[in-house]
Amino acid sequence: MKKTIIAGFFILMIGILFTGYGYMKKGANPLYIDDWKPKVLTKVASKKVLSKNVSFKKINIKDTTDDIVITRGSHYQVSYQGIKGFQPSVSLSNGSLNIRQKKSLNNLISISNINEGGQKVIITIPKTVTLQDISANVTEGDMDIQNIKTQKIEVKSIDGDISIINMTADSLKIYNENGDIEIGAQSKITEGSFSLVNGDLTAHESSFSNANMTNSYGDIELLNSTVNGGQVKLTEGDFEGKKLGVTGKFSVTNRDGDNTISLSNSSNIGYLMSTSDGDNTLFGKDVGSQVTEKTNLVNQIELTNESGDNEIN
């Protein structure tokens, strides 16, 4: 029995190799293994409208491989672009749009990169609509949110990048295990939480109120942005605030990396800087391992470092 299994596996591998060679030579359709069964892909990609002109206030996504795009348009619509056999299911109940991956791709083995370029789900909502809630759990794929207003958003991504452009959110929680987070174009985040394990967080021209940002392995950059309170924590990476506006108490704690801030307005701000192994520089002057200045003011910047430099300009 054991010999039969080994022989069958060997024959299967040879078949896959020859099929792959034939496909590369335009002589065969792509072959893939789904749930350990060999299958031939007869149609590589398709574009399909899954839902149209049906309103919803909430979005709930549980997806394994698709890229997700949420954007504004003239009407409600959900469309899919990708391999026909892996089209996710779409349902609406109690004002909630529910998107689920129909079948797992965990056991899919492709010799022709049929998954390269990715499947994509595009969710469009009218310009005047403010969503109540966006909840997304994405295993492998990028997420792109453009020009959206929502009361609440919570995203968990295992392997992919997250892009947020011109979004207004009253409550936000984003976790990304392996990938970058980019925020830009006048996004306004209140009570936000960003957590990264391995990736960079970059924000452009955005505002944050009481936001907490943590990163284990990667950098955090706030460019031409404003913060009202909040804190940043890094384990191994650099923090940069360029042309940063600060109100309230804003703190940065770093274990291994540099903290650098250039202020858009330095008046009426107090400072506290300390480092165990590095330099503190305040407006071009070396101020030793620890400095406090104007700590009675309402607006405060606190930079704490274990191994790295602190600089405020």
State pLDDT tens for residues 255-296. Answer: 999 999 999 998 899 999 999 999 999 999 999 889 999 989
Is the pLDDT score of 15 beyond 70?
A: no
Average pLDDT over residues 184-207: 96
Chain segment 29-87, per-residue pLDDT in tens: 555 555 555 555 545 557 889 899 999 999 999 987 889 999 999 999 999 998 877 88
Q: Which long-range contacts (CB under 8 A, 24 or more apart) does 99-103 make?
A: 99/59, 99/60, 99/61, 99/62, 99/63, 99/123, 100/62, 100/63, 101/62, 101/63, 101/64, 101/65, 101/66, 103/34
What is the three-class DSSP state of 12? helix
Where on the phi/psi map is residue 170: left (φ > 0), alpha (ψ -120 to 50), or beta?
A: alpha
Chain segment 67-76, per-residue pLDDT in tens: 999 999 999 9
Distance CA 159, CA 139 (A): 6
Q: Calculate the average pLDDT of the chain.
A: 87
